[in-house]
A = this chain, B = another copy of it.
Amino acid sequence: MTAIRVSLHQNGSIRQGDVALIDAWRADSEDKLWVDIQQPEREILEPLLEERFGFHELAAEDSLSLNTLPKYDAFPNYDFFIFRAVDVNLHVHGAQTYKLAAFLGRNFLFTVHREAMAAIDNICNRLPQDARLLMNGPDFLLYSIVDQMVDAHFPLLERIEEFVDDLQEQIFKDAHASQLDEVLHLKRDINILRRQSLPQRELLNQISRGDAQFIQKQHLIYFRDVYDHMFRISETIDVERDMMSGTMEAYLSAVANRTNEIMKVLTIFSAIMLPLTLIAGVYGMNFANEPELHWHFGYWYALGLMAVTAIFMLFWFRRRGWIGHRDAPPRPRI
């Protein structure tokens, strides 16, 4: 069900309440209004946004739809933004990203989102203690929210990095088909993350250059700071993308190595057995005149011949470096 939280900065103090509190705010005053709408429903939102506040139907539509990418649209009396946040508890593959739509005017901010968002809850709870957040203007409030949303990428990216490191290590120890599955899924997650972070980075760049009309000049430097973080995030995503390619190569190489190792050992084994079988075959021939067959120790001689042959071949294979745990050659250090 749609949940609406209203915060109002009036005469130097903060009041929080439900949708009824909006009536206490006047559009032409210096009072600052923040309306946060969670789980928006069309029947409730349309009368409020389009009819009462006169937001454009397309912007209202975008704040309801699911997949819109980060963007900025300027309207005569307000700026409209779409941002995207990530869920730091990303434990299922897929696009665990959330959308935040924001309508920013001279003295009001509307935020619309489907899921509960940590950044919003956090700011909402801090507001009564820290009136400065809203007193500085709704654009500073928007900065505070977006800043937290953007910074939430860092723990996620660190966990992906650790996970990839673990995966690579594991692959080097023991490659397994399920890892390939994991790699392909992770690659896709990172690609989706990347394609969402690029327009968000561009959007923040645009804002920090001063394109948005209701963001005050003295707050641009704050959005510039968020942009720098977002830039670093998209760089990290690119590094992780390169790491995934490396992991893929490592996997394929490890699988090939292991299978080849098995084939090699078994082929060597066969190659040792064959001459022994030949010796047995030679002394199983039925020639009337085959001297060894009549030697007293002929049988032991044949067994000895087999042993000598086997030992000689083992020795030769080891010398060529095909069997035995060869130590890695000493490597130059960088």
Q: Is the CB of A252 within 8 A of B255?
A: no
A333 within 8 A of B: yes
Q: Which residues of B contact A319 (CB under 8 A)?
A: none
Whose C-beta in chain B lies nearest to the C-beta of A272? Answer: B274
| Distance from A159 Cβ to chain B, minimum over Cβ atoms (Å) | 6
Say yes or no for A116: interface residue by CB 8 A criterion.
Answer: no
In the complex the two chains form, is A332's CB within 8 Å of B163's CB?
yes
**What is the bound-complex CA distance between A250 and B184, given in angstroms?**
8
- Residues facing B in A161-201 (CB within 8 A) are 163, 166-168, 170, 172, 174, 176-182, 184, 186-188, 191-192, 195, 199
Report the bound CA distance from A186 to B274 in whole Å: 45
Q: Are B262 and A267 in contact (CB under 8 A)?
A: yes
Q: Is A125 part of the binding interface, using a Cβ–Cβ cutoff of 8 Å? A: no
Q: Are A280 and B270 in contact (CB under 8 A)?
A: no
A68 to B236, CA, bound (A): 12
Could you mark each residue 213-233 of chain A with 1 if its beta carbon is under 8 Å from any beta carbon of chain B, else 0? 000000001101100100110
Contact A282 B268 (CB under 8 A): no
Chain B residues with Cβ below 8 Å from A180 are: 250, 253
Residues of the B chain whose Cβ atoms lie less than 8 Å from the Cβ of A231: 69, 199
Q: What is the bound-complex CA distance between A62 and B226, given in angstroms?
A: 12
Copies in the complex: 5
- Pairwise interchain contact B69-A178, C-beta atoms closer than 8 A: no
Tell me whether A282 and B303 are in contact in the complex, defined as CB-CB below 8 angstroms, given that A221-B56, A221-B73, A250-B180 are known contacts. yes
Most buried by B among A224, A286, A287: A287
Residues of A participating in the B interface, judged by any CB pair closer than 8 Å: 56, 58, 61-62, 67-69, 71, 73, 75, 90-91, 159-160, 163, 166-168, 170, 172, 174, 176-182, 184, 186-188, 191-192, 195, 199, 221-222, 224-225, 228, 231-232, 235, 238-239, 242-243, 246, 248-253, 255-257, 259-260, 262-264, 266-271, 273-278, 280-299, 302-303, 306, 322, 328-329, 331-334
Can you identify 25 A-B contacts, CB atoms within 8 angstroms?
Answer: A69-B231, A69-B232, A75-B221, A90-B334, A91-B333, A163-B334, A170-B329, A177-B257, A184-B246, A184-B249, A187-B242, A188-B239, A188-B246, A248-B249, A255-B260, A263-B267, A273-B278, A274-B277, A277-B278, A282-B302, A286-B293, A287-B298, A288-B293, A288-B298, A291-B299
